């Protein structure tokens, strides 16, 4: 027979192990909770430097000096060397990137630059947006950042209709951006691999399309204005991985632990804005395996586990 004291010890050990497992799988969720502010129903005061204080604690003051988007001059005139390969740097992809930057842009619109205080919201794709009626509140922000191919048309009441920036990678690019985005929306490419630069160059220069090297076929026809395209500075991928998730920058090729597009968008917003709110983040609870993950399609945790 096992004594009561030994049962207690075993129970405490089991509890400890459960907590450690939870901790290991929820590092990103903890940071999402840190930034999860209720979206206000009315325009609230914006305090300059509010996000800057958080950035200095999380990332260090030096990070605010980094450009948001890659610039042609850094690869043509100056040729700034990069320490890492994609997705944390551009080492080995400079020539290809040079051709992409020659036909895209890097500037931040004057409508954002001129703001005395930038109020931003990062809109996730989570199920909790469904029937939330947050659309009107989301539209009141100065900058609305969206993710991947999340639709707006038909969901305006819950997610709003304004899109200032949309972060995406080739496999997550919406096939018809003019339907889901505004005419002046910045389409920010998050490059995870050199093939992503091949894809965007073939699209914008109307070259032979790249069909291999993707886990899912990206659009072969993509009707966008090249001047809407921006290339996210891989620096933000690096600090999100290092400072927020404690991921090693140098990883074996078989290991693919990287920050999500959502966490990258939050990292970018904290550097760009004075006030940062988020909406629509978080997965369903583990026991709600039949609940849809996204607000716009029926994909559940259970179906993901089977795939």
The predicted-structure confidence for 150-170, as pLDDT tens digits, reads as follows: 999 999 999 999 999 999 999
For tokens 């048309």, the residue is 153
What span, in angstroms and rounded, lies between the C-alpha atoms of 55 and 276? 11
Is residue 77 very low, low, confident or very high in pLDDT (cuts 50, 70, 90)?
A: confident
What span, in angstroms and rounded, lies between the C-alpha atoms of 125 and 297? 10
Quick one: which of 208, 194, 173 has its CA closest to 100?
Answer: 194
Whether residue 7 lies inside any domain: the answer is no
Q: What is the mean pLDDT of residues 178-207?
A: 96
Cα dihedral 140, 174, 235, 206 sign = negative
The pLDDT, as a whole number, for residue 20 is 39
Q: Which residues contact 71 (CB under 8 A, 6 or more apart)?
A: 101, 106
The pLDDT, as a whole number, for residue 237 is 97
The answer to whether the beta carbons of residues 198 and 169 sit under 8 Å apart is no
Q: What separation in angstroms does the CA of 184 have from each of 84, 172, 269?
A: 32, 20, 18
The pLDDT, as a whole number, for residue 178 is 92
Whether residue 268 lies inside any domain: the answer is yes
Whether residue 16 lies inside any domain: the answer is no
The answer to whether the beta carbons of residues 104 and 227 sit under 8 Å apart is yes
What span, in angstroms and rounded, lies between the C-alpha atoms of 148 and 8? 48
Q: What separation in angstroms does the CA of 274 have from each of 110, 122, 235, 270?
A: 16, 13, 20, 7
Lowest mean pLDDT among 23-27, 115-119, 128-132, 235-239: 23-27
- CATH code for the domain of 101: 3.90.1480.20
Q: Please report, rounded to a whole number, the percentage of residues in the chain having pLDDT higher than 90.
A: 64
What span, in angstroms and rounded, lies between the C-alpha atoms of 11 and 211? 54
What span, in angstroms and rounded, lies between the C-alpha atoms of 72 and 231? 11
Q: Which residues contact 173 (CB under 8 A, 6 or more apart)?
A: 148, 149, 218, 219, 222
Range of the domain at 52: 28-306
> 191 exposed, middle or buried (CB, 10 Å; 0-12, 13-18, 19+)?
buried
Whether residue 5 lies inside any domain: the answer is no
Whether residue 21 lies inside any domain: the answer is no
Whether residue 287 lies inside any domain: the answer is yes
Q: Each residue of 206-223: pLDDT tens digit?
A: 999 988 899 999 999 999
What span, in angstroms and rounded, lies between the C-alpha atoms of 28 and 264? 11
Q: Each residue of 124-160: pLDDT tens digit?
A: 999 999 999 999 999 999 999 999 999 999 999 999 9
Number of domains the chain contains? 1
């Amino acid at each position: 027979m096992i004594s009561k004291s030994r049962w207690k010890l075993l129970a405490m050990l089991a509890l400890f192990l459960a907590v450690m497992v939870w901790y290991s799988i929820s590092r990103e969720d903890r940071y999402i909770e840190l930034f999860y502010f209720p979206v206000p129903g009315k325009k609230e005061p914006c305090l300059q430097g509010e996000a800057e204080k958080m950035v200095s604690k999380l990332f260090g003051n030096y990070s605010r000096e980094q450009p948001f988007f890659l610039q042609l001059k850094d690869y043509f005139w100056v040729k700034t060397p990069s320490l890492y390969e994609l997705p944390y740097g551009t080492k080995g992809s400079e020539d290809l990137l040079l051709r992409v930057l020659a036909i895209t842009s890097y500037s931040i619109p004057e409508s954002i630059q001129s703001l005395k205080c930038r109020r931003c919201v990062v809109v996730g794709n989570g199920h909790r947006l469904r029937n939330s009626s947050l659309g009107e509140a989301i539209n009141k922000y100065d900058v609305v950042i969206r993710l991947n191919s999340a639709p707006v048309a038909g969901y305006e009441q819950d997610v709003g209709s304004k899109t200032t920036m949309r972060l995406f990678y080739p496999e997550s690019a919406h096939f018809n951006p003019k339907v889901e985005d505004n005419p002046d929306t910045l389409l920010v490419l998050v490059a995870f691999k050199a093939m992503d630069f091949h894809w965007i160059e073939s699209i914008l220069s109307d070259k032979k399309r790249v069909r291999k090297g993707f886990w899912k076929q990206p659009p072969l026809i993509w009707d966008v204005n090249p001047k809407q395209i921006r290339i996210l500075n891989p620096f933000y991928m690096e600090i999100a991985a290092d400072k927020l998730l404690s991921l090693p920058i140098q990883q074996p090729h078989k290991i693919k632990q990287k920050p999500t597009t959502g966490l990258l968008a939050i990292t970018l917003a904290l550097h760009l804005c004075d006030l940062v709110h988020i909406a629509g983040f978080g997965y369903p609870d583990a026991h709600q395996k039949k609940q849809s993950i996204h607000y716009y399609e029926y994909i559940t945790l259970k179906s993901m586990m089977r795939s």
